[in-house]
Structure 1
Amino acid sequence: MSGGKPRIDWKKELRYAALLGIAVMGIWSFVAKPFFIPSESMVPTLLVGDRLVVSKYPYGFSYLSPFLPVLPKMEGRAFGKLPERGDIVVVKSPSDHKDWIKRVIGLPGDTVQMQDGVLYLNNTAVPKRAASPTMIPETENMPCARAEFRVVEADGARFCRYPRFIETLPGKEGSGRSYAVLDLLFSYADDTPPVLVPQGHVFLMGDNRDRSADSRFSPEEGGLGLLPIENVIGRAEFTTFSLDGSQRFWNPVSWFTALRGERAWVSLRDGEE
């Protein structure tokens, strides 16, 4: 009977680790991947610090799929399917080659225009109605855009009170997607010329209309322009959790106190009423 610790079969362990790595990369490339919201372009739908799951397969796959660098550059998508108007999608930006998140507004053949802050689709104004203001807690990663939007309650709680509107895109038999947008002030992007979306492209916008670099701006201006369909990475499905920016790496307690509990498991495919 021999004593001592059993010897580790390092070849077997490395093989298991390699297989696990391949499985994870396969899931991220073909099934789903996590995503982190770094900017305010999709407020009030998404807040800075939200974490969410993006499914990869609904629109097929392109040469820009992560972990597939050996594929040659090609137009279109394998097993491709167009997004629906109103889908929230993660895309590869042509301006900085990073992953951005926006909402699909225009599909191939659509004409998109902004007039005095109102979205027009195919020369028809998209219904936009005023809704109750959104009250977003002011946090380290979500400061109020301007002082006049800040509300301080009697208990000292600070909120950003933003005017909110509900847009409803056209759809089959009146089933178009409704969603909330912010329109805080006048900007030159509130008036744009009509743009025809060509085949193989989509027109995207952020829900925070005054703080979103999107298809209203060319890549040379830091926007997305008319985005090729192969640049669409996947569809945003739901949030998993959210952090308000107060977490500190060296303080594990702050990892929990920074959680926004109400932001967990929020569907991103349900419309506003």
Structure 2
Amino acid sequence: MGETVRVVIHALLIALVIRTFLFQPFNIPSGSMKDTLLVGDYLFVSKYAYGYSKYSLPFSPALFDGRIWGSEPKRGDVVVFRLPREPDVDYIKRVIGLPGDRIQVLGGVVHINGVAVKREKIDDFVEIEDGRETRTRRYRETLPNGVSYSTLDLYENGFYDNTPVYEVPQGHLFMMGDNRDNSTDSRVISQVGPIPMENLVGRAELLFFSIEEGERAWAFWRWPWSIRWSRLANIVR
């Protein structure tokens, strides 16, 4: 009995160390990152990618300010972070602007420091719900550093398809969701705005599980039909 207790305690300590310093599981609760990430995706976030802040620790204790062994994210990274106004909730978006950048959206096209980001139309994103097919315009966006990914365009002249110029403060990042008309991100100054480096939790790395929207992950008897098998073990880009 004593040996079993020791094994359990050791296992819990190892799991705590891994979750705190190496990898944290995270699930996707909304469609703001479609089609890169879907509702029902489960992924691992690397905690060490950008160093450590109080948000790296369980319950976010205020033991220190800033980041330890910090490194700046690259443009295009998919990042989990905490909002300054809602520090208990995890958000996930893509890094579009770095400190000192000027970001603007004109006609749905992102401009970085006055230069339009390359954007080309690709095949529509298709979803089937209750037997009905829904098609959404999809574009391939390529950032100045060569990072390429797809974005969705739900509406012509959406609310944030034309914005003022946002200047990214030092020590902050400008985040945007890939589902551009269905993402509350740094374009919404009153709710999100630029994100302090201290608020980063980690970088999205690997999809380890994915289940159809509306299904329950614990309903293992439905897995043969409910798991999105083609998404398992995909690298997040």
Q: So what's the TM-score if we normalise by structure 2?
A: 0.91
Check if 1:202 corresponds to 2:173: yes
Question: Separation in 2 of the partners of 1:110 and 1:178?
Answer: 19
Supply the RMSD in Å over aligned alpha carbons. Answer: 2.0
CA contact (8 A) 1:25 1:67 kept: no
Q: Which has the larger strand fraction?
A: 2
Check if 1:182 corresponds to 2:156: no
Using the TM superposition, give the Cα deviation of residue 161 of structure 1 relative to its aligned residue in structure 2, in angstroms. Answer: 1.3
Q: Which residue of 2 aligns with 1:86?
A: 76
What does the per-residue CA deviation read over 1:37-72, in whole Å, with 9 as the maximum and x for residues that have no partner?
000000011111011111111111111113264442
Using the TM superposition, give the Cα deviation of residue 73 of structure 1 relative to its aligned residue in structure 2, in angstroms. Answer: 4.7
Kindly tell me: are residues 110 and 262 of structure 1, through their superposed partners in 2, closer, same or farther at Cα, counting changes over 3 Å? same
Check if 1:124 corresponds to 2:115: yes
What does the per-residue CA deviation read over 1:8-28, in whole Å, with 9 as the maximum and x for residues that have no partner?
33xx54443333222211111
Using the TM superposition, give the Cα deviation of residue 81 of structure 1 relative to its aligned residue in structure 2, in angstroms. Answer: 0.6
CA contact (8 A) 2:20 2:56 kept: yes
> Matched residue of 1:253: which SS?
helix
Question: Separation in 2 of the partners of 1:83 and 1:23?
Answer: 27
> Matched residue of 1:19: which SS?
helix
> Which protein is bigger by CA-based radius of gyration?
1
Question: Separation in 2 of the partners of 1:203 and 1:160?
Answer: 30
Q: How does 1:229-244 map to 2 (within 5 A)?
A: 229-244=197-212
Kindly tell me: are residues 22 and 158 of structure 1, through their superposed partners in 2, closer, same or farther at Cα, counting changes over 3 Å? same
> Matched residue of 1:189: which SS?
coil
Q: Which residue of 2 aligns with 1:253?
A: 221
What does the per-residue CA deviation read over 1:111-165, in whole Å, with 9 as the maximum and x for residues that have no partner?
11111211110011111111111223437xxxxxxxxxxxxxxxxx543211101
Kindly tell me: are residues 205 and 21 of structure 1, through their superposed partners in 2, closer, same or farther at Cα, counting changes over 3 Å? same
Kindly tell me: are residues 245 and 40 of structure 1, through their superposed partners in 2, closer, same or farther at Cα, counting changes over 3 Å? closer
Q: So what's the TM-score if we normalise by structure 1?
A: 0.80
Using the TM superposition, give the Cα deviation of residue 195 of structure 1 relative to its aligned residue in structure 2, in angstroms. Answer: 1.4
Q: How does 1:80-229 map to 2 (within 5 A)?
A: 80-97=70-87, 98-138=89-129, 157-171=131-145, 176-185=146-155, 186-218=157-189, 221-222=190-191, 224-229=192-197
Q: Which residue of 2 aligns with 1:36?
A: 27
CA contact (8 A) 1:92 1:232 kept: yes
1:51 to 39, 42, 47: 42
Using the TM superposition, give the Cα deviation of residue 196 of structure 1 relative to its aligned residue in structure 2, in angstroms. Answer: 1.4
Aligned residue identity for 1:263 = R
> Matched residue of 2:35: which SS?
coil
Moved more, 243-252 or 15-24: 243-252
Percent of pairs identical after alignment? 43
